[in-house]
């Protein structure tokens, strides 16, 4: 169990863990190491004077400093990975293993009046394909620099209305699993960046509506969608807690809510892990 300390103190502690060699080993691992489909694996890379590089499945992964000059790879695991498989992080000519455990996700049935949001027409499909290409490129961004914090702030204060990984059925037809967290908050509620970062993409998309991508560094990216208003532009530096937009119901949404994705090494992972709300 993690110590019962306030989020603000926990955020300071974890920020220090990322940059200073003090008590990071147990804290970062206990907070983030949830090696399941849609989860995160924390892999010890060992000591080094300089930050080592690491890859998984050919993609670079986030690396942060641990205690005693040791380094950790923070690996995002996609929902599509098969449980029970042994995986290897490659770093400095070494293969460092981790095993993906199993996790069962619930189902959610949603009724939409707009049937095009369930079965898009040919013009819609062309638009969706183009928009997906743009968003995938944003998710694959990998910039240098250590994230300001790994224990993230909630973008809004409100109850969860839909969890990550839920198998979704729209009008009885199964579609992609839910790739983020939904918060039930009123339209117009300010959406705050959970860590410092740079705005790398904004747009209005068929499914996601008004959308903002914020790059926190080294492939650690937040995406917010269904917004009623966007308050930033591409290239803006956003501080931790900076407002990026307002809650809305644009795109495929049944009502106002805040949808938040977190991506690591181009894998959408459960944001609950980073706000200390993960449920096995």
Digit-coded pLDDT (tens) for 126-146: 999 999 999 999 999 999 999
Q: Is there a single domain that holds both residue 159 and residue 244? A: yes
Q: Is there a single domain that holds both residue 75 and residue 213? A: no
**Residue 77 is assigned to a structural domain of this protein:** yes
What is the Cα–Cα distance from 245 to 225, expressed in whole angstroms?
9
Q: Count CB neighbours of 104 within 10 A.
A: 10
In this structure, the strands spanning 173-174 and 160-162 are unpaired
**Residue 280 is assigned to a structural domain of this protein:** no
Q: Which of 73, 99, 125 is the last residue of a domain?
A: 99
Q: Is there a single domain that holds both residue 119 and residue 153? A: yes
Q: Residue 272 — φ and ψ, nearest 5°? A: -60, -30
pLDDT of 61 over the 80 cut: yes
Domain coverage including residue 113: 107-275
Name the residue among 96, 76, 73, 74 with its Cα closest to residue 86.
96
Q: Is there a single domain that holds both residue 113 and residue 244? A: yes
**Residue 151 is assigned to a structural domain of this protein:** yes
Percentage of the chain surpassing pLDDT 70? 83
Q: How confident is the model at residue 16 (pLDDT cuts 50, 70, 90)?
A: very low
Which residues, 6+ apart, have CB-to-CB distance to 92 below 8 Å?
A: 45, 52, 53
Q: Is there a single domain that holds both residue 27 and residue 164? A: no
What is the pLDDT of the chain when averaged over all its residues?
Answer: 87
Q: Is there a single domain that holds both residue 89 and residue 216? A: no
pLDDT of 207 over the 80 cut: yes
What is the Cα–Cα distance from 68 to 25, expressed in whole angstroms?
9
Q: In the structure, how many helices (H) and strands (E) does the chain have?
A: 3, 21
Q: Residue 134 — φ and ψ, nearest 5°? A: -65, -45
pLDDT of 157 over the 70 cut: yes
Q: How many residues does the chain have?
A: 280
Q: Is there a single domain that holds both residue 33 and residue 128? A: no
Task: Give the DSSP H/E element, type plus range, for residue 54.
Answer: none
Secondary structure of 204-215 in HEC code, one letter for each residue:
EECCCEEEEEEE
pLDDT of 203 over the 70 cut: yes
**Residue 1 is assigned to a structural domain of this protein:** no
**Residue 261 is assigned to a structural domain of this protein:** yes
**Residue 33 is assigned to a structural domain of this protein:** yes
CATH of the domain at 24: 2.60.40.1590
What is the Cα–Cα distance from 219 to 199, expressed in whole angstroms?
13
pLDDT of 189 over the 70 cut: yes
Q: Is there a single domain that holds both residue 124 and residue 157? A: yes
CATH of the domain at 246: 2.70.70.10
Q: Is there a single domain that holds both residue 163 and residue 249? A: yes
What is the Cα–Cα distance from 75 to 64, expressed in whole angstroms?
11
Name the residue among 85, 140, 22, 167 with its Cα closest to residue 132.
140
Q: Is there a single domain that holds both residue 226 and residue 174? A: yes
Q: Is there a single domain that holds both residue 116 and residue 239? A: yes
Name the residue among 29, 55, 52, 59 with its Cα closest to residue 42.
29
pLDDT of 67 over the 90 cut: no
CA 240 to chain centre: 15
pLDDT of 220 over the 90 cut: yes
pLDDT of 273 over the 70 cut: yes
Query: Across the chain, which distance is largest between two alpha carbons, in Å?
Result: 58
In this structure, what is the dihedral angle of CA atoms 171, 173, 177, 182, given to the nearest 10 degrees? 0
Q: Which of 77, 99, 121 is the last residue of a domain?
A: 99
Average pLDDT over residues 143-151: 95
Tell me which of 149 and 254 has the higher pLDDT.
Answer: 149
Predicted local confidence at residue 175, as pLDDT: 56
**Residue 179 is assigned to a structural domain of this protein:** yes
> Total domain count for the chain?
2
Q: Write the Ramachandran bin of 104: left for phi over 0, alpha for psi from -120 to 50, otherwise beta.
A: beta
Name the residue among 3, 19, 5 with its Cα closest to residue 146.
19
Average pLDDT over residues 146-167: 92
What is the Cα–Cα distance from 201 to 192, expressed in whole angstroms?
16
Q: Which of 99, 123, 147 is the last residue of a domain?
A: 99
Predicted local confidence at residue 116, as pLDDT: 61
Predicted local confidence at residue 90, as pLDDT: 98
Q: Is there a single domain that holds both residue 222 and residue 189? A: yes
Predicted local confidence at residue 68, as pLDDT: 75
Task: Give the DSSP H/E element, type plus range, for residue 45.
Answer: strand 40-47
**Residue 2 is assigned to a structural domain of this protein:** no
């Amino acid at each position: 169990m993690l110590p019962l300390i306030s989020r603000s103190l926990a955020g300071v502690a974890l920020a220090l863990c990322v940059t200073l060699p003090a008590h990071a080993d147990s804290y970062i691992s206990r907070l983030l190491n949830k090696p399941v489909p849609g989860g995160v694996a924390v892999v010890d890379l060992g000591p080094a004077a300089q930050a080592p590089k690491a890859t998984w499945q050919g993609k670079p992964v986030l690396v942060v400093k641990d205690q005693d000059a040791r380094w950790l790879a923070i690996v995002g695991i996609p929902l599509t990975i098969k449980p029970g498989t042994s995986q290897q992080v490659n770093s400095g000519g070494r293969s460092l293993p981790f095993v993906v455990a199993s996790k069962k996700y619930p189902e959610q049935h949603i009724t939409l009046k707009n049937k095009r949001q369930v079965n898009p027409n040919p013009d819609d499909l062309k638009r969706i394909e183009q928009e997906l290409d743009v968003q995938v490129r944003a998710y694959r961004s990998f910039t240098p620099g250590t994230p300001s914090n790994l224990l993230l702030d909630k973008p809004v204060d409100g109850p969860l209305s839909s969890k990550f990984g839920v198998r979704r059925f729209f009008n009885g037809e199964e579609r992609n699993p839910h790739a983020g967290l939904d918060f039930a908050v009123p339209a117009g509620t300010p959406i705050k960046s959970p860590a410092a970062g740079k705005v790398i993409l904004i747009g209005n998309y068929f499914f996601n509506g008004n959308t903002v991508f914020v790059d926190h560094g080294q492939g650690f990216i937040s995406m917010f969608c269904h917004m009623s208003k966007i308050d930033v532009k591409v290239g803006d530096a956003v501080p931790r807690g900076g407002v990026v937009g307002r809650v809305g119901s644009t795109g495929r949404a049944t009502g106002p809510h805040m949808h938040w994705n977190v991506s690591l090494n181009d894998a959408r992972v459960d944001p609950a892990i980073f706000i200390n709300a993960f449920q096995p």
